[in-house]
Amino acid sequence: MLNAAQHDVLFAFFKVVPHPMRLETKLALFNALSKLLLVLLGVLLITPIVQRVAVAHTDQRLHEKKLEVLALVQRDGLAAFVRAERSETYADYNLLKQEYISITPLLLGPGSPTERVFEERRQVDNEVEDFRILSCVVPAQRPDGRAFRLEIGSSLGTLELLTHTLRQLALWVLVAVALGTVLTDVAFAHYLLGPLRELTARKLRGIRQPSEFSFAPIATGTTDFRRLDDGLNALMRQIQSAFEKEREFMSNVSHELLTPVSILQSRFENMLQDHTLPEQHARQVVESQRTLYRLRNTVRTLLLIANIENEQYLRDEVVSLTQTARDVAEELEDRRQQRDISLAVDLEPDWVLRRANATLLHTLLRNLLANAIKYNHMGGTIRIVGRPVLAGGYALRVEDTGPGIAAEHLPHLFDRFRRFSAPGPGAPEGYGLGLPIAQTIAAFHGATLRAESVLGQGTAFVVEFGPAAG
């Protein structure tokens, strides 16, 4: 569980992260940040704590030495250390004068011992040092004995050295523990989130349609991931069933509609051959024929989309994009010249698809080029450019110099039956089913189709083929 401070730190950190990040990366960064805060807090607290520890350790050593000296005095007597007749002080210190012991006889009778620890400057021989001193008055052990003052001092230089050593040791241990826990947390998070990575990589990444989804369960012992996987599988089964019903419905309806449309078309043609038909009625029949013609094209388009999505076309041909682009340009040359639009085809190098359907690719490029002609300005320019991409694969662009498409319309260009009004007076209206067909054909060949447009400058449709398509 996170405490309030850690929760605030986590919220503030993720709030300032400008780009989306993986959950595992966020957890690793949070763990590293929390350990860094602990290290900084430890740096602030270690110095006073170590200082207290060093002082306590020094005081403990002074008390231990006091007990040792008292044991020696009790064993050998006070006379072994001082001359009673002169009341001289006994003093002893080590070679570096970092510690000293002094025993001073006192003219005190029996009484209770007194003891205190303090810091004071003392002169040892000709040098003055700061010492931490334990001073105690030891009363006489026998009625005829004498009391004495015992002082045991330890240089503060030694205390500072001990403090520095302990502080460095504590800091290194703290840093090592923090790094160790960060690596442990990262490794554990990587292991714990393994099923989630598998779920996103194996089941969600690269899925363009429900039929490509894998329903194989992921291997995990985490209940949450198991529920997520089961829920995702159940949801995708419902979506797959809905898609199958939609495709079946579109295919059946398209087949059923073509027959009455053809019958009506024949009847209208027979009516127009009747010389007794009034001119006014004939014009109405011609208008009805146009409407019926648009209906027939719509039905055929829906049937084409349904057949492509149901994998009723083969990918068993080797297709050159350069040759396909030239064939489409030649087919639409009359329409392009009527609007005085120039065309440049620049596919360098050529890209050859080893497993493709030539008819569908021809339809894809024809729809894109037809749109570029239809929605271009009189005397405009169209470029068909093909180049390899850095990540592998090939990008084919169909660019025009038309009025462009508003940014709010770009996400809906490939929606079926979604129509928009093009900007400018006299501009043709909207987009029918041509772009959805192009997108379906691109997906059939493992490619993606997207649109780029700047209002007033033109539009580019980009078909990106993956490395495996070549």
CA distance 32 to 271: 83
Of 205, 238, 255, the one marking the end of a domain is: 205
Answer whether residue 78 is part of any domain.
yes
For residue 32 the two structure tokens come to: 């590293």
pLDDT digits (tens, 9 = 90+) for 307-328: 777 777 788 889 999 999 999 9
pLDDT higher than 70, residue 255:
no
Between 140 and 268, whose confidence is greater?
268
pLDDT of residue 309: 72
pLDDT higher than 50, residue 466:
yes
Answer whether residue 441 is part of any domain.
yes
pLDDT higher than 90, residue 104:
no
pLDDT of residue 17: 46
> Quick one: average pLDDT of 341-353?
91
Q: What is the DSSP letter of 277?
A: S
For residue 162 the two structure tokens come to: 């001990």
Q: Based on the domain organization, do 52 and 185 belong to the same domain? A: yes
pLDDT higher than 50, residue 298:
yes
Q: Based on the domain organization, do 273 and 396 belong to the same domain? A: no
pLDDT higher than 60, residue 6:
no
pLDDT higher than 70, residue 458:
yes
Q: Based on the domain organization, do 287 and 349 belong to the same domain? A: no
Q: H or E element: which one contains 54?
A: helix 23-76
CA distance 156 to 133: 10
Between 21 and 170, whose confidence is greater?
170
> What is the C-alpha end-to-end distance of the chain, expressed in Å?
52
- Return the closest-CA partner of residue 396 out of 452, 461, 331, 352: 461
Q: Based on the domain organization, do 341 and 443 belong to the same domain? A: yes
* Residue 286 structural domain: 208-312
pLDDT of residue 3: 47
Q: H or E element: which one contains 345?
A: strand 342-347
Answer whether residue 5 is part of any domain.
no
* Contact present, 277 and 285 (Cβ < 8 Å): yes
Number of domains, the chain = 3
* Contact present, 393 and 469 (Cβ < 8 Å): yes
* Contact present, 155 and 129 (Cβ < 8 Å): yes
Q: Based on the domain organization, do 104 and 146 belong to the same domain? A: yes
- Return the closest-CA partner of residue 304 out of 438, 412, 417: 438
> Quick one: average pLDDT of 258-264?
78
pLDDT of residue 228: 82
Q: How many Cα atoms are found within 13 Å in the side-chain-facing hemisphere of 269?
A: 8
pTM for this model (two decimals): 0.49
Of 171, 205, 239, the one marking the end of a domain is: 205
In which band, very low, low, confident or very high, does the pLDDT at 168 lie, cut at 50, 70 and 90? confident
Answer whether residue 470 is part of any domain.
no
In a 10 Å sphere around its CB, with 0-12 CB exposed, 13-18 middle and 19+ buried, how is residue 379 labelled? exposed
The CATH number of residue 212's host domain is: 1.10.287
Answer whether residue 163 is part of any domain.
yes
Q: How many CB atoms lie within 10 A of CB 151?
A: 20
Residues of the chain with pLDDT > 90, as a percent, come to 17
Q: Based on the domain organization, do 86 and 180 belong to the same domain? A: yes
Q: Based on the domain organization, do 250 and 335 belong to the same domain? A: no
pLDDT higher than 50, residue 16:
no
Strand partners, 118: 133
Q: Based on the domain organization, do 159 and 214 belong to the same domain? A: no
In which band, very low, low, confident or very high, does the pLDDT at 421 lie, cut at 50, 70 and 90? low
pLDDT of residue 7: 45
* Contact present, 353 and 423 (Cβ < 8 Å): no
Q: Based on the domain organization, do 92 and 46 belong to the same domain? A: yes
Q: Based on the domain organization, do 57 and 84 belong to the same domain? A: yes
pLDDT higher than 70, residue 89:
no
Q: Based on the domain organization, do 86 and 229 belong to the same domain? A: no
Answer whether residue 126 is part of any domain.
yes
Lowest mean pLDDT: which of 245-259, 346-360, 405-419?
Answer: 245-259
Amino acid letter, 145: G
* Contact present, 366 and 437 (Cβ < 8 Å): no
In a 10 Å sphere around its CB, with 0-12 CB exposed, 13-18 middle and 19+ buried, how is residue 85 labelled? exposed
pLDDT higher than 80, residue 350:
yes
pLDDT higher than 80, residue 166:
no
β-pairing, 381-388 vs 342-347, is parallel
Of 312, 336, 354, the one marking the end of a domain is: 312
Residue 214 CB partners (closer than 8 Å, separation 6+):
202, 203
pLDDT of residue 459: 93
Q: Is 273 helix (H, G, I), strand (E, B) or coil?
A: coil
For residue 191 the two structure tokens come to: 């292991």
Q: Based on the domain organization, do 147 and 232 belong to the same domain? A: no
Answer whether residue 286 is part of any domain.
yes
pLDDT higher than 50, residue 9:
no
> Quick one: average pLDDT of 379-385?
94
Answer whether residue 418 is part of any domain.
yes
Q: Is 219 helix (H, G, I), strand (E, B) or coil?
A: coil
Amino acid letter, 105: P
The CATH number of residue 399's host domain is: 3.30.565.10
* Bond preceding residue 349 cis, omega within 30 of 0: yes
Between 387 and 95, whose confidence is greater?
387
Output the CA–CA distances (angstroms, integers) from residue 10 to 4, 43, 185, in the order listed: 10, 22, 16
pLDDT of residue 424: 46
Residues of the chain with pLDDT > 70, as a percent, come to 81
pLDDT higher than 70, residue 85:
no
How far out from the chain centre does Cα 216 lie? Answer: 26
pLDDT higher than 50, residue 155:
yes
Q: How many CB atoms lie within 10 A of CB 82?
A: 18
